[in-house]
Amino acid sequence: MQLPFQVDLQNKVAVVTGGSGVLGSVLSRALAKAGATVAVLARNQEKIDKTVRAIRDEGGNAIGYSVDVLDKQALEKVHEDLLSQFGPCSILINGAGGNNPKATTAHEYATAENLQNSSEQSFFDLEPSAVDNLFSLNFLGTLLPTQVFAKDMTNQKDCTIINVSSMNAYTPLTKIPAYSGAKAAVSNFTQWLAVHFSKLGIRVNAVAPGFFLTEQNRDLMIQEDGELSDRAGKILSQTPMERFGEPEELVGTLLWLINNEASSFVNGVVIPIDGGFSAYSGV
């Protein structure tokens, strides 16, 4: 991996939840390339091992943990192990999250016609348990790791928490009300934490990716024949740069927010990385 600019993270321990996903793995590799020891937290052991191997192959230092970010006791065990092996956490990236198809509507708009089709999921069919689980994964999955790992930061300098929000947090996308609401909660929580931790010198910010192809949305964006879906075409038509983002395009903002020399007075902000999507009115 080639970093866009050099940041010295030697002697820093970074924890990345969701660290083996399409976006999270790139963030994990970037932190390691800058010199941090990276703890990759996720659920799928195979993907975790793949990310850790990639980091080590590039000369970095990493360790992986298969853990549920909603299991505080398990997170505490990870914290204890990490503390004993490498020292206190000084960088936390809360990247775990995701959507749930049972909390998604089949259509953008409710009409009398499509409401009569019982085979298609309407707003009235959204499963409360799916909505609850989605909110837990995205919001509690940010709060709990912060409770566990930010304790290490209270007696250090230049510590940073970066949450992963979404452009959905600014303006909700059609079909995904619960995911949009959950990410709005993450953005709000980012601001709350920034104020709450300000006297301790812990900066808290967030990145809000626009549209990137990931494992979670690929089937919605790319058809079986390899062509863009109607939804993907609509998204790109509203993105002035007329393309999806590349995961590596998150790295520059990540490193800027982490580097205290570059962003020491930046606190409580949510940075859009969206190719101009949020700036375009549609006309």
Model confidence band, residue 115 (pLDDT cutoffs 50, 70, 90): very high
Query: What is the Cα–Cα distance from 248 to 246, expressed in whole angstroms?
Result: 5
Given a cut of 90, whether residue 220 has pLDDT beyond it is: no
pLDDT given at position 229: 87
Model confidence band, residue 122 (pLDDT cutoffs 50, 70, 90): very high
pLDDT given at position 120: 94
pLDDT given at position 66: 98
Pick from 53, 174, 162, 41: nearest CA to 105: 174
Is residue 179 annotated as part of the catalytic site, yes or no?
yes
Given a cut of 80, whether residue 216 has pLDDT beyond it is: no
Find the helix packing angle between 251-258 and 22-33, rounded to 10°: 50
Mean pLDDT of the chain: 95
Inter-residue contact 58 to 33 (CB < 8 Å) = yes
Question: Which amino acid is present at 170?
Answer: Y
pLDDT given at position 277: 94
The residue with greater pLDDT, 238 or 283, is: 238
Q: Which residues contact 259 (CB under 8 A, 6 or more apart)?
A: 7
The dihedral region occupied by 158, where left means phi > 0, alpha psi between -120 and 50, and beta the remainder, is left
Inter-residue contact 38 to 70 (CB < 8 Å) = no
Q: For 250-278, what is the mean pLDDT?
A: 97
Given a cut of 80, whether residue 173 has pLDDT beyond it is: yes
Query: What is the Cα–Cα distance from 258 to 255, expressed in whole angstroms?
Result: 5
Model confidence band, residue 48 (pLDDT cutoffs 50, 70, 90): very high
Model confidence band, residue 26 (pLDDT cutoffs 50, 70, 90): very high
Phi first, then psi, for residue 159 (nearest 5°) are -100, 150
Q: Which residues pair with 209 in a beta bridge?
A: 273
Given a cut of 90, whether residue 222 has pLDDT beyond it is: no
Q: For 117-130, what is the mean pLDDT?
A: 95
* Strands, sheet with 202-209, edge to edge from the N-terminal-most edge strand: 61-66, 37-42, 13-17, 91-94, 159-164, 202-209, 270-273
Given a cut of 90, whether residue 283 has pLDDT beyond it is: no
- Tell me which DSSP letter residue 229 carries: P
The owner of tokens 């006309």 is 283
pLDDT given at position 274: 96
Model confidence band, residue 260 (pLDDT cutoffs 50, 70, 90): very high
- Take residue 257 and report the two structure tokens written for it: 């927010």
Q: Which residues contact 109 (CB under 8 A, 6 or more apart)?
A: 174
User: What sections of 87-198 are H helices per DSSP?
Assistant: 112-115, 128-135, 141-149, 177-196
Q: For 118-147, what is the mean pLDDT?
A: 97
Query: What is the Cα–Cα distance from 6 to 79, expressed in whole angstroms?
Result: 28
Q: Determine the distance from the C-alpha atom of residue 126 to the mean position of all C-alpha atoms in its chain, rounded to a whole number.
A: 24
pLDDT given at position 231: 87
CATH class belonging to 13-106+121-210+245-271: alpha beta
Given a cut of 80, whether residue 218 has pLDDT beyond it is: no
Given a cut of 80, whether residue 215 has pLDDT beyond it is: no
